[in-house]
Chains A and B, each alone.
Chain A
Amino acid sequence: NAGVTQTPKFRVLKTGQSMTLLCAQDMNHEYMYWYRQDPGMGLRLIHYSVGEGTTAKGEVPDGYNVSRLKKQNFLLGLESAAPSQTSVYFCASSWDLVGELFFGEGSRLTVL
């Protein structure tokens, strides 16, 4: 099983460019999450989704948009990238609110 797959794994952007990170899960999970990980700060929740067609803001949502058009996919978009968005992004999914989080391998984004 692939589990949670993130693409791309690495990307370098210039300030102001846009891009989309794709997260796909094959476990039929209802809940999906996008986190960012910065040195010394742990993982912080950007946005999450509790089901197809739903999205909600997490702790650090500014500068990002998300969509969950299909149950298995959760897209994270940066409309106008900024250097402060240089980070490692992790997608995760879970069966329910109290369940274990299953993580992707991470996507390293650098904004110059």
Chain B
Amino acid sequence: AQRVTQPEKLLSVFKGAPVELKCNYSYSGSPELFWYVQYSRQRLQLLLRHISRESIKGFTADLNKGETSFHLKKPFAQEEDSAMYYCALRLNNNDMRFGAGTRLTVKP
């Protein structure tokens, strides 16, 4: 079955601490993975995609095909990073499968 699993519904860290939001996927094809973020009272928006290999707002994510993971990391969390984060997997038939999301809270 094609699915995306985000094992943590809630994650809380202190400002300045490292943060890692976990994402695991199950897919027999070549995976195309994304992280989307929804800040309070804002729309869901793209944070980064694995194909770009970019760092956005200090976040990075590396695709590990062996472990079928695409964890999102930031070395020093900021209060403005508090948001809902969704990992997403694009399937060949245009369907984008989303994980259930992780709510990150960065405490001062």
Chain A residues close to B by CB (< 8 Å): 3-4, 31, 33, 35, 40-45, 48, 50, 56, 58-59, 90, 97-98, 100-105
Q: CA A37 – CA B46 in complex, angstroms?
A: 17
Q: Is the CB of B32 closer than 8 A to any CB of chain A?
A: yes
Q: Which of B53-105 contact A (CB under 8 A)?
A: 86, 90, 94-101
Rounded to whole angstroms, the CA-CA distance of A43 and B101 in the bound complex is: 9
- 10 closest cross-chain pairs (CB), A and B: A42-B98, A43-B98, A103-B44, A100-B46, A42-B100, A103-B43, A45-B95, A42-B99, A40-B100, A105-B43
Q: How far is the CB of A49 from chain B (nearest CB, A)?
A: 10
Report which residue of B51, B86, B96 has the largest number of chain A beta carbons within 10 angstroms of its beta carbon: B96
How far is the CB of B83 from the nearest CB of chain A, in Å?
14
Question: How far does the Cβ of B41 sit from chain A's closest Cβ, in whole Å?
Answer: 9
B94 contacts A97, C-beta separation under 8 Å = yes
Question: B94 contacts which chain A residues (CB < 8 A)?
Answer: 31, 48, 50, 56, 97
For B49, B86, B94, the residue with the greatest tally of chain A CB atoms inside 10 Å of its CB is: B94
A-B contact pairs, 7 of them (CB 8 A): A35-B98, A41-B100, A42-B97, A43-B86, A45-B97, A100-B46, A104-B43
Please give me the residue from chain A that is nearest to B38 by CB atom. A103
List the B side residues contacting A98 at CB < 8 Å.
32, 51, 90
Question: In the complex, how many angstroms separate the beta carbon of A31 from the nearest chain B beta carbon?
Answer: 7
- Complex CA gap A59/B46 in Å reads 21
B108 to chain A, nearest CB (A): 28
- Closest Cβ of chain B to A111, distance in Å, is 22
Residue pair B44, A90 in contact (C-beta under 8 Å): yes
Q: Does B45 contact A (CB under 8 A)?
A: yes
Query: Once the chains are docked, how many angstroms separate the CA of A87 from the CA of B73?
Result: 31
Which residues of B have CB within 8 Å of A33? 96
Contact: A103 with B45, CB < 8 Å?
Answer: yes
User: By the criterion CB–CB under 8 Å, are A101 and B46 in contact?
Assistant: yes
Q: Nearest chain A CB to B37's CB is how many angstroms away?
A: 11
